[in-house]
Every structure is written in structure tokens, then in C-alpha cells.
């Protein structure tokens, strides 16, 4: 079945630094990728949708300059949290969709900003 | 995106069937009904999906009401590993999650 690999699975960074999270579709081409954020005991919140080769579409209230999304190839999308602060600490999850296939999720990245 | 309504939590016993309800009264004719589940500290996992007819797979069954305004995910014999948050989602172009149902399985 379709597999999405997300790295790193966890990261701790200092306040003010930037963190990059990678999402790769291993056995299919992902025409669309989605990035979510999830706080403890809450549901997943869609942050943005990205299509290969074009700019990401951000959901209302999500700062595009803070959460940089790059979808340069059909198998890789990256989310960079710039100038991270403690309130950005969360569980970030990517999802990929290929032509004719369903949605496959990565295993998530737990970001802790100290 | 059309909304779904699910109970916040449900509890069942191991090896018994579990029926997880979902209301989606504003569903449109082209909305597929998808179910995903999420185990703690993991990404969501696909369970099943359908459009109009009932569906079965190795994980579960999906019963869709005739008017499509509600559906039920059926786990035929729950195990402890089925304890998770179950999300019922209507998909058009993007996957938007509601609050889901937290399922607890008692040994």
C-alpha cells in the first residue's frame, strides 16, 4: 500500500531557530500534500495544502511566512517552522494524495520549542 | 466542507462488536464518506470509505443510510488495539477533521 515517510519523528529546538520537517511519498507520486497541526487532546487542524510545483494554499489564520511549505517534487514536501517559539510546540502531520489514490498520512513530528 | 457530528467518546468490551455513528445531514451527492482512526502519537490511519452502498474490508464495515445523512462504522470484534480516536470525514477536495470519537476498549 501507499507509504508516507515523515522525518524527524521528534525534534527539540531553541526558541528563535528554524526547524524543517520532511514528508516523502515512498511508492507513489503525491500530486497534493497536506500539512496538519495537532495540539494535545485536540483534533487535527489543516494548515495548508500544496500542489507540486505551485505555491501552497494556507488555511485562514495560518501565517504563511512562519510556516514555509515547499513541494518541489512529486515525492517530497517540506514544512519549515521559522523563528520557532514555545507556542509552536505541537504534533505536525503530513498527508499525501496521488492520482486515483486515497490520503496517506505520515507518522507525525513532535516539535518541542524550548 | 460539509460537517460531520460524532459522539465524543464511546466504550466497549473486547471481542464485542462496536457501532460508531456519524451524522452528516448536509452531505452532497458527490461527497465520499471516509473513516480514519488515530492511535496515540501516530498519524491517522485509513479505515474505510464509501459513497452509497455498504462496504466491507478486513478492518471494518461501513453502513450508509439510504438518504446518506448518516453512517455507521462497525468493528465486528473489537480488540484492545482498536482503541483510538475515530474520525468520520466527508471529502471533496481536502481532508478536514472534526473532533472524532474516542473509543475505549475494556479487557
pLDDT by residue (tens digit) across B26-81? 998 888 999 999 999 999 999 999 999 999 999 999 999 999 999 999 999 999 99
Residue B42: list chain A partners with CB under 8 A.
Answer: 107-108
Identify which of B42, B95, B99 has the shortest CB distance to residue A95: B95
CB B20 within 8 A of CB B101: yes
Average pLDDT, stretch B13-24? 97
Q: pLDDT tens-digit profile of A39-94?
A: 999 999 999 999 888 889 999 999 999 999 998 889 999 999 999 999 999 999 99
Distance CA A72, CA A52 (A): 6
pLDDT score for B1: 57
Q: What percent of chain A has pLDDT over 90?
A: 78
Distance CA B17, CA B2 (A): 28
| A9: pLDDT strictly greater than 80 | yes
**Which residues between 26 and 65 in chain B have a beta carbon less than 8 angstroms from any beta carbon of chain A?**
34, 36, 38, 41-46, 49
pLDDT score for B91: 81
Q: What angle do CA A62, A63, A66 make, to 5 degrees?
A: 130
Residue A94: list chain B partners with CB under 8 A.
Answer: 43
| B2: pLDDT strictly greater than 70 | no
pLDDT score for B30: 86
CB contact under 8 A, A91 and B41: yes
Residue B99: list chain A partners with CB under 8 A.
Answer: 43
pLDDT score for B10: 98
pLDDT score for A101: 62
Residue A111: list chain B partners with CB under 8 A.
Answer: none
Q: A-side interface with B, Cβ within 8 Å?
A: 4, 6, 34, 36, 43-46, 49, 91, 93-95, 102-108, 110
**Between residues A38 and A31, which one has the greater pLDDT?**
A38
CB pairs under 8 A between A and B: 47
Three-state SS string across chain A, please?
A: CCCEEEECCEEEECCCCCEEEEEEECCCCEEEEEEEEECCCCCCEEEEEEECCCCCEECCCCCCCCEEEEEEECCEEEEEECCCCHHHCEEEEEEEEECCCCEEECCCEEEEEC
pLDDT score for A102: 80
Q: What angle do CA B85, B89, B95 make, to 5 degrees?
A: 105
Amino acid at each position: 500500500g501507499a507509504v508516507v515517510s515523515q522525518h524527524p519523528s521528534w525534534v527539540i529546538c531553541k526558541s528563535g531557530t528554524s526547524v524543517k520537517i520532511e514528508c516523502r511519498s515512498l511508492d507513489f507520486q503525491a500530486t497534493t500534500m497536506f500539512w496538519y497541526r495537532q495540539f494535545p487532546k485536540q483534533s487535527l487542524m489543516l494548515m495548508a495544502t500544496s500542489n507540486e510545483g505551485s505555491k501552497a494554499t494556507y488555511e485562514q489564520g495560518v501565517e504563511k511566512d512562519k510556516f514555509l511549505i515547499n513541494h518541489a517534487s512529486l515525492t517530497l514536501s517540506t514544512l519549515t517552522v521559522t523563528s520557532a517559539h514555545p507556542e509552536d510546540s505541537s504534533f505536525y502531520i503530513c498527508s499525501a494524495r496521488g492520482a486515483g489514490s486515497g490520503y496517506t498520512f505520515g507518522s507525525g513530528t513532535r516539535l518541542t520549542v524550548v | 466542507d460539509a460537517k460531520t457530528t460524532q459522539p465524543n467518546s464511546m466504550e466497549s468490551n473486547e471481542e464485542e462488536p462496536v457501532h460508531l455513528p456519524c451524522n452528516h445531514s448536509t452531505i452532497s451527492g458527490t461527497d465520499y464518506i471516509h473513516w480514519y482512526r488515530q492511535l496515540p502519537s501516530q498519524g491517522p490511519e485509513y479505515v474505510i470509505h464509501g459513497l452509497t452502498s455498504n462496504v466491507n474490508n478486513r478492518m471494518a464495515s461501513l453502513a450508509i443510510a439510504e438518504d446518506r445523512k448518516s453512517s455507521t462504522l462497525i468493528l465486528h470484534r473489537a480488540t484492545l488495539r482498536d482503541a483510538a480516536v475515530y474520525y468520520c470525514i466527508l471529502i471533496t477536495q481536502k481532508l478536514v477533521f472534526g473532533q472524532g470519537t474516542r473509543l475505549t476498549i475494556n479487557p
